[in-house]
Chain A
Amino acid sequence: MSPEELRALVRAARLDDVWAAFPDDVAIAAGAAEAIGRAIAGPAGPADELWPRMRPNDEPWPPMRPDDPA
């Protein structure tokens, strides 16, 4: 990630002050987020969405109750 990209992410997350005080921690976290995004890539589509499980009058939360068969 380039310094410019990191600066843009920090600004979007409203973390300018945190970045100024703890630049290494912010850089490590941003790098980890990028790695997670890559790691969870893979085929997934509408059949995997949570919303098809919901029935009329269902509570919208929690999204994955264990007694709601996946």
Chain B
Amino acid sequence: MSSLPWMSAAGIAAAYKARRLSPVELVTDLLARIERLQPRLHVFTRLDAPGALAAAREAEAEIAAGRHRGPLHGVPVGVKDVIDVGGLPTSCHSRLMRDHVAAEDAGAVARLREAGAIVLGKLSTHEFALGGPSFDLPFPPARNPWNPDHHPGGSSSGSGAGLAAGLFPLALGTDTGGSVRHPASACGIVGLKPTYGVVSRHGVFPVAWTLDHVGPMARTVADAAALLQAMAGHDARDPASVDRPAAYGAALDQPVRGLRIGFVRRFHERDMVADPQVAAALEDVAAVLAAEGARISDVDLPPLGEFAAVNRAILTNEAWAVHAPWMRTRAGEYGQLSRQRMLVGAFLRAEDLVQAQRRRRQLTRAVNAAFREVDVLLLASSMDPACRIEAADEITRTYPRQARTPFNLTGHPALAMMCGLSAAGLPLSVQFTGPLFGVAQVLRVAAAYERATGWHERHPALD
């Protein structure tokens, strides 16, 4: 079995530099793997093999000529199909957008191309990053590489599944209610939702603009940091974009000794009682970090249900504002889940939105207050391992059982990563979150946990 599919972006960059590997060799190997696994996993909505090979040849020539652009030069990346890549369709996994071809790269993609990254193609999502997993859309839903009968999480489903399957080392996702962190949890990879405003959403089809984030996804914490570094930065075309340069990977190698980590147990012990395997894995995470010298203490936040309800009120309102014209005239072209979820916004009242915004402010204050006592919060991401994708009742039951939406509402950075395997061999996950603009702190804790446990070296048996 080739080791190329499991190489990290950092390892690829080192191999290029040492002339042990070339971009064309890597892309050719990955394209062959994609051809073999795509029929089982449905990771791509559009693979751009000619474009990827052309970019690989260009990168190879530049690197050979000594014009090395940096750590992502010649490194393949997959892009969720709600994010524009110039010349490729942005289908949003929907009949309504199937023939829409993007005229130019999204802000984040343009930055990655400047850094020399190679776009392999567009990746499966839920319809408009909201309605899924569904079997009534123009593309089938992505499957979980750890067990293709199971859901890979969503809505950045192809991003998570493709990383776990070794189809690419880096991917872009979007996160409005947890859509980067859910596939990271289900597929056992690293998914980071940065602080609101850090990555441009220009050229990204919106779900809900005050909750939407673009985030890096990777198999290692260092790769997620490098990807974020390449695509972060101010973009005047996104009104929420902030101008706060930072060195996201600066603290990756620092130990966590003395760091104050707050363990939010109430979410998975009281508000939504987690699967015992998830609860036990979270206790193990706390024990590992304590053994590394971190100071673990209990932290309380408002009930998880309050965050979820307020997030849903705002999300469905804003999504309805985007989709109302199409929904009134082309409702039959949406998948059923999209219709059910988006129509909610049509029936919320003006006073509901005002109330939701007031509650949002209260909840944001509560999270900010927690970060006056601790440096990072440790908490659940998913309350259950991934369920079977075709078990509609299980999807409906488990989908809301998560603790990711609070940080879309409040804008705080949050990262989900693997912290174990269930008895059935499916990934278990933990979430770390930090203060506003405290991404480097979150990455520091995640990297220390990764070093101490090595879960990132476990891969599904696909070969």
Q: Which residues of A contact B (CB under 8 A)?
A: 9, 13-15, 17-18, 21-22, 25-26, 28-30, 32-34, 36-37, 39-42, 44-45, 48-50, 59, 61-67, 69-70
List chain B residues, Cβ under 8 A from A29: 339-344, 346-347
Q: Which of B211-253 contact A (CB under 8 A)?
A: 239-240, 242, 244
Q: Which of B196-219 contact A (CB under 8 A)?
A: 196-197, 209-210
A59 touches B239 (CB 8 A): yes
Q: Which residues of B contact A (CB under 8 A)?
A: 195-197, 209-210, 239-240, 242, 244, 305-306, 309-310, 312-313, 316, 327-328, 331-332, 336, 339-349, 352, 355-362, 364-365, 368, 410-412, 436-437
Across the interface, name the chain A residue whose C-beta is closest to B409. Answer: A64
What's the Cα separation between A14 and B331 when bound, in Å?
13
Residues A40 and B352 in contact in the complex (CB < 8 Å), given A18-B331, A65-B197, A65-B240: yes
B362 touches A32 (CB 8 A): no
A66 touches B242 (CB 8 A): yes
A-B pairs, 10 with minimum CB distance: A29-B343, A39-B309, A33-B347, A44-B358, A66-B411, A48-B358, A70-B364, A13-B346, A66-B436, A18-B331
B197 touches A66 (CB 8 A): yes
Per a CB cutoff under 8 Å, which of A14, A34, A45 touches B347?
A34
Per a CB cutoff under 8 Å, which of B195, B209, B312 touches A36?
B312
Per a CB cutoff under 8 Å, which of B309, B328, B339 touches A25?
B339
List chain B residues, Cβ under 8 A from A70: 361, 364-365, 368, 410
What's the Cα separation between A9 and B306 when bound, in Å?
25
What's the Cα separation between A15 and B197 when bound, in Å?
35
B309 touches A63 (CB 8 A): no
B342 to chain A, nearest CB (A): 8
List chain A residues, Cβ under 8 A from B344: 29, 32-33, 36
Across the interface, name the chain B residue whose C-beta is closest to A69. Answer: B368
B365 touches A30 (CB 8 A): no
Across the interface, name the chain B residue whose C-beta is closest to A41. Answer: B355
> 16 pairs across A/B with beta carbons < 8 Å?
A15-B327, A33-B345, A36-B313, A36-B316, A40-B313, A40-B359, A41-B355, A44-B355, A45-B358, A62-B209, A62-B210, A64-B364, A65-B240, A66-B242, A66-B412, A70-B410
List chain A residues, Cβ under 8 A from B437: 66-67
Most B-side CB within 10 Å, residue of A33, A34, A69: A33
Across the interface, name the chain B residue whose C-beta is closest to A16. Answer: B328
B225 to chain A, nearest CB (A): 19
A30 touches B331 (CB 8 A): no
B358 touches A25 (CB 8 A): no
List chain B residues, Cβ under 8 A from A34: 347
Across the interface, name the chain A residue whose C-beta is closest to B436. Answer: A66
What's the Cα separation between A9 and B347 when bound, in Å?
7
Per a CB cutoff under 8 Å, which of A28, A40, A63 touches B210?
A63
Per a CB cutoff under 8 Å, which of A28, A49, A61 touches B239?
A61
A37 touches B348 (CB 8 A): yes
For the complex with contacts A64-B196, A65-B197, A65-B411, 4 further pairs of A-B residues with Cβ separation under 8 Å are: A22-B339, A32-B344, A48-B361, A65-B196
What's the Cα separation between A48 and B339 when bound, in Å?
32
A27 to chain B, nearest CB (A): 10
List chain A residues, Cβ under 8 A from B195: 66
List chain A residues, Cβ under 8 A from B340: 25, 28-29, 32
List chain A residues, Cβ under 8 A from B336: 22, 25
List chain B residues, Cβ under 8 A from A64: 196, 210, 360-361, 364, 411
List chain B residues, Cβ under 8 A from A63: 210, 357
Across the interface, name the chain A residue whose C-beta is closest to B368. Answer: A70
A39 to chain B, nearest CB (A): 4
A39 touches B361 (CB 8 A): no
B365 touches A17 (CB 8 A): no
List chain B residues, Cβ under 8 A from A14: 328
What's the Cα separation between A24 and B242 when bound, in Å?
42
List chain B residues, Cβ under 8 A from A17: 328, 331
A15 touches B346 (CB 8 A): yes
List chain B residues, Cβ under 8 A from A26: 343
List chain B residues, Cβ under 8 A from A59: 239
Most B-side CB within 10 Å, residue of A49, A59, A70: A70
List chain B residues, Cβ under 8 A from A22: 331-332, 336, 339
List chain A residues, Cβ under 8 A from B341: 29
What's the Cα separation between A25 and B349 when bound, in Å?
19
List chain B residues, Cβ under 8 A from A40: 306, 309-310, 313, 352, 355-356, 359
B347 touches A21 (CB 8 A): no
